Structure 1
Amino acid sequence: MDEASVVLSPREKALRVHERLCAVYGCPIAFFHELDPLSELVSALLSHRTRNADSGRAFRQLRARFVTWEAVRDAPCAEVQEAIAPVTWPEQKAPRLQHILREITARRGGDMALDFLGALPVPQARAWLESLPGVGPKTSAAVLLFSRLRRPALPVDSHHYRVAVRLGLLSARIPVGPSHALLAALLPQEWGAQQVYDHHEVLMLHGQRCCYHQSPACGRCPVLELCPHGQERLRRR
């Protein structure tokens, strides 16, 4: 039977897409760094609406200028803003970052390390992070998955979201924030951090390299048979 004529459940389709894209982009994919969870949180906060190269440069400048995160917390805000100048809206991110660091200090009785999150169930760890001001589901998932904690929490960036919507895994009426729980629910509960990371990475890479925001390359898409959006675009030509 032709794959396009098979009616798949969203979960079945998500796994089929995962397998196909992993074959294309090469899983397992190596984690891009191994920061402690507090450093990962800072990195994620700086990356909001900012190119990776710029947020990475700002993070390195911040670490070079201040020896500890306590020093960042206690520094004059203008100095923190100067250190993170490469990011978008440094004048907003500097005071927000310091506010979050002070909040963590208050909640943890002076201990700013977030390694304790590794001992919590993922939903509980995410809830703790998301109770911090300005921390949403993408950031909480990034802290748990990308840091050295390596917990199976699924971040959804704009590329991942776009691909999921076009594949019909998610309604376009659902915003990115609530999409995290819905897309994570499609993945097997027994998946570990590497599989969850691979899933996030291959959908993101596919959005960057094929399923572009404008003029997606549907004619060479390896999951075209599973994509109603792509099939409809090609029919209209």
Structure 2
Amino acid sequence: MRITNAIKKQMLDILEKYYANSTTALNYSSPFELLIAVILSAQCTDVRVNIITARLFPEFNTPEKILDLGQTKLEEYIRDCGLFRSKAKNIIAACRILLDDYGSQVPSDYDELIKLPGVGRKTANVVLSELFDIPAIAVDTHVFRVSNRLKLAVGENVLDVEQGLMKTIPRDKWGQAHHWLIWHGRQICKARNPSCDSCPVVELCPSGKKS
């Protein structure tokens, strides 16, 4: 099945209606909290991250407080998160940079964000889109899988898929579309045993199991 631009637009229109007003599943109450939550979310579910941050943020929710806590004790707080030692190390280093170079504020520039340890392309794009309403598409495992399955953007790596989606999706909807694809991947287009019977775009999907 050849997926034309018209079919891509149809799929996106359906997903937009199906996942209207969707947003991040991560709990946060400040830019710094979101930054830390997204760093923790690498190879960890948002549900698990919310459990971790629920015990961390009430007492340690600024760069200064995290630095006072220290790496060893931070590891104890986030021990049930994947790669907790490297994440703790990165978070401490990022907090030091935020304190010294940015007055403890989260920068709103992509190039500045990726200077922070633990912040890669995906994390920076989430922060830009979620906090500063700057058009960006963050490609996580769900976005990558759904984009390839629907052929909205086909690629063997995250950057290829991100660039493909930027061409396919109108710029003013990049941030919203990121959430449509994430939630579709979580709820329906799962890695194993996707729920094609309940998929709103199954009739257009080149990979789906049509009834």
TM-score normalised by length of structure 2: 0.84
| Alpha-carbon distance, 1:72 to partner | 0.6
1:181 lines up with 2:181 in the alignment: no
How many Å separate the matches in 2 of 1:211 and 1:67?
Answer: 34
8 Å CA contact 2:33–2:57 kept in 1: the answer is no
The one-letter amino acid paired with 2:101 is R
Q: Does the alignment pair 1:135 with 2:119?
A: yes
The secondary structure found in structure 2 opposite 1:225 is coil
Q: Which has the larger radius of gyration?
A: 1
User: More displaced, 132-141 or 65-74?
Assistant: 65-74
Structure 1 residue 31: Cα displacement: 5.8
Identity between Structure 1 and Structure 2 (%): 26
Counterpart CA distance in 2 for 1:220 and 1:199 is: 20
In the alignment, structure 1 segments of 5+ residues that lack a partner are 118-124
Cα offset, 1:97, TM superposition: 0.5
**Which amino acid in the other structure matches residue 40 of structure 2?**
L
Kindly tell me the number of residue pairs found equivalent between the two proteins.
Answer: 210
Corresponding position: 1:65 with 2:59: yes
Q: Is the 8 A contact 2:44 2:81 kept in 1?
A: yes
Superposition CA RMSD, Å: 2.6
2:101 aligned partner: 107
Q: Which has the higher contact order (CA 8 A, sep 6+)?
A: 1
Aligned match of 2:43: 49
Counterpart for residue 23 of structure 1: 17
Length-normalised TM-score, structure 1: 0.76
- Aligned-residue offset at 1:178: 4.2
C-alpha distance 227-73 of structure 1, shift in aligned 2 (>3 A)? same
| 1:169-220 Cα shifts (integer Å, max 9, x gaps) | 22242x124422331232213x1xxx43431222222222322212323344
How does 1:167-206 map onto structure 2 within 5 Å? 167-173=150-156, 175-189=157-171, 191=172, 195-206=173-184
